[in-house]
Amino acid sequence: MSTETVTISKLGAQGDGIANGPDGPIYIPFGLPGETVAIARVKNHRTIMSITRPSPDRREPLCRHFGPDGVGGACGGCSLQHLGDDAYRSFKRDLVIDALKSKGLAPAVGDLVVAHPGERRRVVFAARKTEKELLLGFNQAESHHIVSISECPIASAAITSRLDAIKAIGKAMATSAEPFRITVLETLSGLDLSVEGIKGLSDQKRRATIETTLGLRGIARVSLNGEILVEPMKPILDFGGVQVSPPPGSFTQATKPAEDIMAELVTSHVGKAKRIADLFAGSGTFSLRLARTGRVHAVEAEDKALKALDHAARNTQGLKPVSIEKRDLFRRPLMASELKVFDAVVFDPPRAGAEFQSQELARSGVKKIVAVSCNPLTLARDLAILVAGGYRVTSVTPIDQFLWSSHVEVVASLEK
């Protein structure tokens, strides 16, 4: 291990401080611009040992699990809890501006829609059984070590108040000391626990899991690797007044406030379009809201999510017709010839973006497009393809759905 003193010049895209070293940039987790810090180096990993000159933007973290002396590294759930609000919001907005600039785009970017503590309804915990207990928390930064938590300021009260119940279910399911994941989703009817990483359960373990769950309050469903083990109540989400029961472990927006704002941006840009395609539709976050005003064709690769969307549409009065199509849009994007029947298209792909689908959209005559993304870099690439095809970006709104992380959600609208 070697030590050295450096001055941090800027924040990197992952939230690390960056100092200029003789051999290139030095990335320092939890460092802030303008700080002079003493760092320890083990191979390529740097750790702040002390701060000689702290940044005026440095603040006390809200959570005691974040790390000692305001220098993170204990719990790996947050990376930017030590950064003051104004600097933090500028950092998030700049992530979007810089990504667009890298592709030669310079549309106006709106102010960051802020997130608040206690809003996260979907949290992915790391878990591991020990001789005495179940560790439940997050992996320490750049480590497989699980920091067990007793609080989490980003998570909803419904989740944090039931940490003991989640631990009890995880302990009943654990078959070895191997780590596994528990995705917890707050729904209207209770918590939905989706466990992955446990290979299989004996009949005894299965019974123990069911009995433990039934003996607890506030748990709607427990599943393992997509298989429902016990469902005291069907998990229900509300998508703009339409009730949907999502399949185990399926994608949902991480916070309800962010989802509502994203949906408002999507529906307002689509306006009174009569024929709408919703691509990468999931369980219907946007489709079911858009069906209030127009006919919607929802395209999604995951069969169970599509069935949940279809069931909700068929059992809700007052919606325009919703058609569904199971299709892998990465392998088979909707072609320009298929898109010609639509007045508007919405797409919300995974982090990899929608490069091939954007190429087909660029060749189409669709009047309005809304692009939703959790990755500014792939979004910028897709927008550049559309702009080259004759589209104009009319608005870009960054949304802080992932509080105190280096991730930011974006909604961009375009017109031909």
Residue 67 included in any domain: no
Residue 68 included in any domain: no
339 and 306 in a single domain? The answer is: yes
373 and 280 in a single domain? The answer is: yes
pLDDT at 69: 55
224 and 264 in a single domain? The answer is: no
Q: Give CA separation, 318 vs 173, 236, 241, 266, in Å.
A: 43, 19, 11, 20
295 and 214 in a single domain? The answer is: no
Task: Kindly state the tokens that stand for 65.
Answer: 């699990």
226 and 134 in a single domain? The answer is: yes
pLDDT at 167: 97
pLDDT at 260: 97
Backbone angles phi, psi at 133, to 5 degrees: -155, -175
pLDDT at 200: 86
pLDDT at 64: 86
Residue 82 included in any domain: no
Output the pTM of the full model. Answer: 0.93
pLDDT at 71: 62
Closest C-alpha among 391, 411, 294, 394 to residue 342? 294
Closest C-alpha among 327, 278, 281, 331 to residue 301? 327
Number of domains in the chain: 3
pLDDT at 72: 56
For 310-334, letters b (16+ CB in 10 Å) and e give bebbeebeebeebebbeeebbeebb
Q: Token pair 């940039």 is at which residue?
A: 25
261 and 407 in a single domain? The answer is: yes
- Which residues line the annotated binding site? 253, 280, 300, 348
Q: Say which of 75, 78, 152, 374 is annotated catalytic.
A: 374
- Which residues line the annotated binding site for S-adenosyl-L-methionine? 253, 280, 300, 348
Bin 223: left if φ > 0, else alpha if -120 < ψ < 50, else beta.
beta
Helix axes 376-388, 85-102, angle to 10 degrees: 40
Residue 238 included in any domain: no
Task: Mark whether 374 is an active-site residue.
Answer: yes
104 and 130 in a single domain? The answer is: no
| Per-residue confidence in pLDDT tens, the chain, 416 aa | 678 898 999 999 999 999 988 888 889 889 999 999 998 877 667 888 889 889 999 999 989 888 755 565 578 889 999 999 999 999 999 999 999 999 999 999 999 999 999 999 999 999 999 988 999 999 987 778 899 999 999 999 999 999 999 999 999 999 999 999 999 999 999 999 999 999 989 999 999 999 999 999 999 999 999 999 999 999 999 999 999 999 999 999 999 999 999 999 999 999 999 999 999 999 999 999 999 999 999 999 999 999 999 999 999 999 999 999 999 999 999 999 999 999 999 999 999 999 999 999 999 999 999 999 999 999 999 999 999 999 999 999 999 999 999 999 999 999 99
Burial of 56 (0-12, 13-18, 19+ CB in 10 A): exposed
pLDDT at 75: 83
212 and 171 in a single domain? The answer is: yes
102 and 143 in a single domain? The answer is: no
Backbone angles phi, psi at 282, to 5 degrees: 60, -135
Question: Is residue 127 within 8 Å of residue 170, measured between CB atoms?
Answer: yes
Domain limits for position 224: 122-230
